[in-house]
Structures are given as structure tokens and as C-alpha cells.
Structure 1
Amino acid sequence: MAQKDFYAVIGVSSSATADEIKKQYRRLAKQYHPDTNKGDAKAAERFKEISEAYNVLGDAEKRKQYDEMRRLGAFDPFASRGPRPGGARAGGAAGGAAGGAYSQSGPRMEEFDIGGLGGLGDLFGSIFGGGRQQRPSGPEQGQSVETTLEVPFKVAALGGKVPITLDLNEECGTCNGSGAAKGASLSVCTECGGRGQISFGQGGFAVNRPCPACLGKGRIPSEKCAACQGAGANRTTKKVLINVPGGTESGSKIRLKGQGGRGVRGGPNGDILITFQVKPDPDYERDGLDVILRQRINLAQATLGSKVSVLTLDDKTITITLPAGTPSGKRFRVRGQGIEKDGQRGDLLVEIQLAVPESLTAEQRKLMEQFAKAAGLEY
């Protein structure tokens, strides 16, 4: 399992402030965003990696938990899978197949069970692929899913619905999660002794992980369930329509209770935690609750003044009057046409940008030369 140093992924030090992390994330997200790197699989993968890292480091509580794991030395617990000096292999031939379960006869190692750390254990599992470590026997919550959802700018600003497809591991309906075929017998797993977990040594810790022989169940069937091949769970997809609140910003989150994977052995369904990533828009830009619209005009409009029609976020057409001599960069405020959130509503700021033609017709060039001469300009 490859280690993930989220600080290195973002490109900041572990002492970076929240603002520094956010600024660096935005810079990288803009650089590698799929919309600006169409067809570039490497850029898309890099964008996913950046988003995953910021999902942890951008959340104060998750970052605290992540830093604690690094302090405990649990950052790369699987770098060394062989026996430590003086250690004896455990589990016989089955242990050799697993490649790393062992006991220690030297200095006592502190057992580090990620299943007993609550939120820290969940975070550890999301980073290193670990999970609940004690073999469950009663009802258990279904899989909770944490994902990033890209949202169009206008949907994020005004609110709306966006579909998302999730991959879930759900209890096999044929064997009810046992992994055994109908009528098959179950025997105690010789690899883990029925515990459902084995230990790997790292530094002063023994980190518990699900047993690879029994897949954390503690029992091995005489015949595997054909539907799930003994895993006790199947990979399924679930389509969910996500309600995006108006005024949503990148990094904001919502939790959908009970919308995740089905509960195990009658347990409650898992949750879905969505982190929003707002796509950049070619025309609009957000500034708090205000929205900036860059409107291109020509030289004649700027010089003589004119009426200009612009579109608001909700696609209404409004007309603004430009005075003669309007400079490029000048902003005109349209009250109440920005983003609405928590009972407040921003404005639409129409920023004028002077469009210079790349080429002129013969008549246009003649008139422009006359204008230059009248103004005493050399060209």
C-alpha cells in the first residue's frame, strides 16, 4: 500500500496555516482542473489526488487527526512486513502466505488497533485502506462514503440538483454476509485464530489489520458463496440526486444520513459525505455574495457611450447605460442580482473590458486613421 503524504501532495509544510493550504490548493486545482486539461488523464488523476488531500488538510478536525497519526508513527505502517530481529513468525504456513503476521519476542510492542480510535481510525482507514478490526457479530452500520462532487458555477450560486453515482460495498444478499455457500460449514481461521485480524509491526507499534485469509470474519467456509466469492459483500453502484444549497462554495460539505451502503446484519445504513468543488465559469466570478461579470465592448461603445444588454445569473436580460468615455475595468453595480444566502443577497458587478479587433476592413482602417490624425496621433 503506497503511503500518502497529504502535505507533499498539496506542496506545503506540515506547519502551514489553513490559509496557506487553501491558497495552494486553489492554485493547484485551477492548474489541473479537468475542464482546462481536457483529455489529459494524468491531470485528472492529479486533480483527484489534490482534492483528496485537501479534503483532509482543509478540515481542521481531520487535519488534527491526520497529524496525530503522523506523530504516532502510523503514517506508513506497512513499509516493513517481515519479522523484526528476534521476532518469531506466527500462523504457520498460512502466515507465510499472508506475508507479515508475526509475534515479537523482543521489546514489548504497543498494539495499535485502528478500529478502536473512533474518527481517527476511520481517517486512518481512508488513507491506508484499513477498517474496523474486531470481528463483528451484531448489527453494523453500512458503508459510509466520502466523495468530492463538482458543481457548475450557476448551480452552486443559485442552488439546484446534481446527480452522482457512487460505488459501494454492500452485504451479499445470497449469504447474508457470511461468505459461505448454502449448507457449507464454517471453521475457525488458522491464520488469525478466529480474531479476524492480524498485526504488523512498525516502530513501537503493532498495527492491526483485517486478516487476508478470512477477510476479517474469523471463520472460513468449506465452500464459498458463488455470488460474492466468499467476500460476504458485493460491489454495487448507487445513483443519488444531490440537492446543492444556493451559495455553495468550494470545500463546503453536506452529510446525507442513511443514504450510504445498506446496513450489515440489520444495522443502519451508512452516510454520504459530500465535499463540493465549484467549477470555474468563463463569464462569472464570485466575490463573497457579489458576482462579477466581465462584459466586452468595442472602442466606439466605450468612447461614445451606449446601452449594453447583460445576462444575470438566472438568465434574465438587463440593460445598463455606459457613459461616453467609459474606461476598461470600470464596474457598474446592479443591486440584488448576486448570490442569496442566509437572508442576504449580493449584487452583480458588470466589469467593462475593451475588446480590440484583431483585424480591420479597409473602410474601418481608413476611418481609424482619420481618427488618429484628428487626435494628433502617430502610428
Structure 2
Amino acid sequence: MAKRDYYEVLGLQKDASKDDIKKAYRKLAIQYHPDKNPGNKEAEEKFKEATEAYEILSDDQKKSAYDQFGFAGVEGMGGPSNAQDFASAFHGFEDIFGDFSGIFDTFFGGGRRSSGGGAGGVRQGANLRYDIEIPFKDAVFGTKVEIQYTRNEACAACKGTGAANGAGRKMCPTCSGTGQVRRSQGFFSVSTPCPTCGGEGYVIEQPCKECGGSGIQKKRQKIMVTIPAGVENGKRVVIPKQGDAGPNGGPPGDLYVFIRVKPHEYFERDGMDLYCAVPISITQAALGTELFVTTLEDKKIKVKIPSGVQNGKMLRIKNEGVPAGGRRGDMYIKLIVQIPTKLSKRGKELLEELSQTEGEVNSPKHISLSELSRN
């Protein structure tokens, strides 16, 4: 089933305030809370759908990306897909809903625990986003762009473990490896990250001196990004394994390169077709002619202008458009008949003579709309 617009899910308009977003989510979360709807799969899905919408719209960066690019703008930016992500989205509502950890375990099969056997097991690193702006011509024909950005890489000294060579790590004595501690608040039991281990479930006895026990180091790197021919404004290029390194030596996430295309001075694009406008004189329009028109590739192509052509006429030039998928679109030329603003004395005489010869009248008849639309 297609995903619904996040604003639609929460019943809001795009200009909704943060407080409006919070209130709308709170209302839906109470309505569809699993404790109120035991065994109701539809309510469970609505609960998760509302939470995903809130997680995106309550974050200024993610909301801005979603408003500009839709779902493509927030894909890979850490939207809630597991218990840990949903738990962070619910921060601030624990006093209403009680112990979320049990609910998340029901939804996702164990919350933060992973294949490593504890809360701090191996996990994939975060995906990263990079925005670039490229010229119109490069978007049409493709190019390569060098980008620089900072990412988390696994510490070379400890190979991402955070422990010095030969040292190990032990179960956190405070949370017994769960990464969570619970406290009672009225009728509710609230889980929070363990203050001793920071939610990892273990403590390192001898932290690595290079990374301070984090297992990661910030590194600046350069990579070449291949922009495919025919890429459109707002599209993205995914570069696998160039995101942040995962915790505890986990695999890296991906890098998402989002593309903005600069407008061209003379050309516009519609799918695989290119459009431009070319001026012609009234005599060229009346008599017909041959023009040499410059394409986006800076080629000169001969274009035959038929006699009697009207202002705004579109001429199609095959296979001079956008290349993509082994074929190429067309180029359309709009003819703009330009009326001279200044005439020589001789020019005026010739036009007056033409007017008399052609029998021009001062009381023209209306042009039918059907005929106008054909032109």
C-alpha cells in the first residue's frame, strides 16, 4: 500500500507549528495505542504510521527535506524502522504511554538488542546526505563531481571496538547488559538509557587512546560522484558504504547525494525533450528561410523555416534532446517573430507599398478560437 503524506496522516496543513504537530500526534497515539486496541492490527499500523510522521515532522532538518523533496528527501535519513528509532521518537511522551520498551519488543522483536547479544551489539552506521548543485548541461549529458564531506570511520587502532589492544569489555553492572534502567513514575514504569554505559550495555575496561573508547574517528574524505545522463532536479545518487561506520565495528551506512539543477539561460526541459526560443524577422517569417540554430551541445544545425510561419510556431528537431536509457528525446524550437521598433525611411516605404499591394484593411474580422488553437 502506498505511503500517505505525513501531513495527511496527522491531519495537518504544511504551515502547522511544532506545537500543532505534537498535539496531533499525541491525540492519534492515545487513540491507537496497543494497550487500548489489543490484537487490533489496523490500530497497530496506524500507531506506527502516526509515529513515523511525527518523527519526521518534529525534526526541523527532516521536515525541511520532506517539504522540499517528499519521501525521497527523508529516505535514508534515519526514519523510524525499529524499536530504537521509535523509542527516540516517543521521547517526552513516556509519562502518557508508560513503559514503551515492552511495546517495541512486541512490534519489532526485541528492541535495541542485536546479534551481538546485548544492547551494544553490531549495528549498521547511519546514512548520510550531501546536496550538490550542477549546471543544466551536466544534468542532461552526465558528469563527474568531486565532493568532500566528513564521516565517522572505524578507528584503525582498535578496529572499531573502542577497546585498547588486548583489552576487553564487560557487562555494565548498572543495567546488567540491557542498556536500559527503569524507574517508577506514579502508575507507570519508564525506561531510560543507562547512565553508566550510555545505553550500550557494556563498559570498556581500557578505552582506546586514539578514539577515546568510541570506536570511531571523524575523517574528511574526497570521492568522485558519477552523475548519470538525464538526471532530473531533486533526484539522488546512492553511494553504498560511504556513510558513517557502524557502532562496535558494524558496517557503514550509505551516502545519499541529492541533486539540484541550475536553470539554463536558453533551454528548458520537459522529461526527455528540450525547449528553446529563436527570433526571426517578419520577412523571414513571410518568405521562409534557413537558419543555423545552436543546440545545447553547442552544435550548429540547419533548420528550414517554412514561408508564412506564424509567431509562436513550434518546430521539432529529432534526437537533439536528453539522452537516457539508450535513446534520446527531441528539441523543440519556438519561433518568435520580432517586429522592428525602428525603420529606415526606405524600409517604411517598402512596408507601406507592401500594405497597399496586399490590400490590408482597417476593419479586420475576428479570428475564430478554434482556428487560433490550431496555430
**Equivalences for 1:258-297 in 2 at 5 Å?**
258-262=241-245, 267-297=250-280
- Tell me if 1:111 matches 2:102: yes
Which residue does 2:238 correspond to in 1? 255
**Equivalences for 1:154-169 in 2 at 5 Å?**
154-169=137-152
TM superposition shift of 1:296: 3.7
The whole-number CA distance in structure 1 between the counterparts of 2:219 and 2:240 is 19
TM superposition shift of 1:332: 1.2
TM superposition shift of 1:348: 0.9
Which residue does 1:22 correspond to in 2? none
Give the TM-score, by structure 2 length.
Answer: 0.57
TM superposition shift of 1:268: 4.1
- Which of these residues, 119, 124, 140, is aligned with residue 135 of structure 1? 119
- 199 and 159 in structure 1: CA distance in 2 versus 1, 3 angstrom threshold: farther
Which residue does 2:220 correspond to in 1? 237
TM superposition shift of 1:113: 4.3
Cα RMSD for the two superposed structures = 5.3
Amino acid at match of 2:330: D
- What SS does structure 1 have at the residue aligned with 2:291? strand
**Equivalences for 1:1-150 in 2 at 5 Å?**
7=7, 50-53=64-67, 55=69, 57-58=71-72, 77-80=90-93, 84=95, 109=100, 111-113=102-104, 117=108, 135-138=119-122, 140-150=123-133
The whole-number CA distance in structure 1 between the counterparts of 2:81 and 2:339 is 52
The whole-number CA distance in structure 1 between the counterparts of 2:351 and 2:206 is 95
Contiguous gaps of at least 5 residues in structure 2: 22-59, 363-375
- Tell me if 1:319 matches 2:302: yes
Which residue does 2:332 correspond to in 1? 349
The whole-number CA distance in structure 1 between the counterparts of 2:269 and 2:309 is 23
Which residue does 1:370 correspond to in 2? 348
CA contact (8 A) 2:66 2:72 kept: no
CA contact (8 A) 1:302 1:326 kept: yes
- Tell me if 1:152 matches 2:125: no
- 373 and 151 in structure 1: CA distance in 2 versus 1, 3 angstrom threshold: closer
Which residue does 1:328 correspond to in 2? 311
Based on CA coordinates, which of the two structures has the bigger radius of gyration? 2
TM superposition shift of 1:271: 2.8
TM superposition shift of 1:228: 3.4
- 78 and 274 in structure 1: CA distance in 2 versus 1, 3 angstrom threshold: same
The whole-number CA distance in structure 1 between the counterparts of 2:303 and 2:195 is 68
- 171 and 345 in structure 1: CA distance in 2 versus 1, 3 angstrom threshold: same
Which residue does 1:246 correspond to in 2? 229
Which residue does 1:36 correspond to in 2? none
The whole-number CA distance in structure 2 between the counterparts of 1:296 and 1:47 is 45
Which residue does 2:46 correspond to in 1? none
CA contact (8 A) 2:274 2:321 kept: yes
CA contact (8 A) 2:120 2:202 kept: no
TM superposition shift of 1:216: 3.9
- What SS does structure 2 have at the residue aligned with 1:154? helix
The whole-number CA distance in structure 1 between the counterparts of 2:208 and 2:281 is 72
The whole-number CA distance in structure 2 between the counterparts of 1:9 and 1:173 is 48
Residues 121-176 of structure 1: CA deviation (Å, up to 9, x unaligned)? 9xxxxxxxxxx9963445x5444334444443222222222233333222223344
Residues 221-248 of structure 1: CA deviation (Å, up to 9, x unaligned)? 5776554344332222332222222222
Amino acid at match of 2:91: F
- 60 and 213 in structure 1: CA distance in 2 versus 1, 3 angstrom threshold: closer
Give the TM-score, by structure 1 length.
Answer: 0.56
- 286 and 52 in structure 1: CA distance in 2 versus 1, 3 angstrom threshold: same
The whole-number CA distance in structure 2 between the counterparts of 1:113 and 1:134 is 16
- What SS does structure 1 have at the residue aligned with 2:102? strand
Residues 43-76 of structure 1: CA deviation (Å, up to 9, x unaligned)? xxx99964444555358999xx87999xxx9795
- 197 and 110 in structure 1: CA distance in 2 versus 1, 3 angstrom threshold: closer
Amino acid at match of 1:57: F
CA contact (8 A) 1:296 1:355 kept: yes
Contiguous gaps of at least 5 residues in structure 1: 15-45, 86-103, 122-131
CA contact (8 A) 1:112 1:208 kept: no
CA contact (8 A) 2:273 2:332 kept: yes
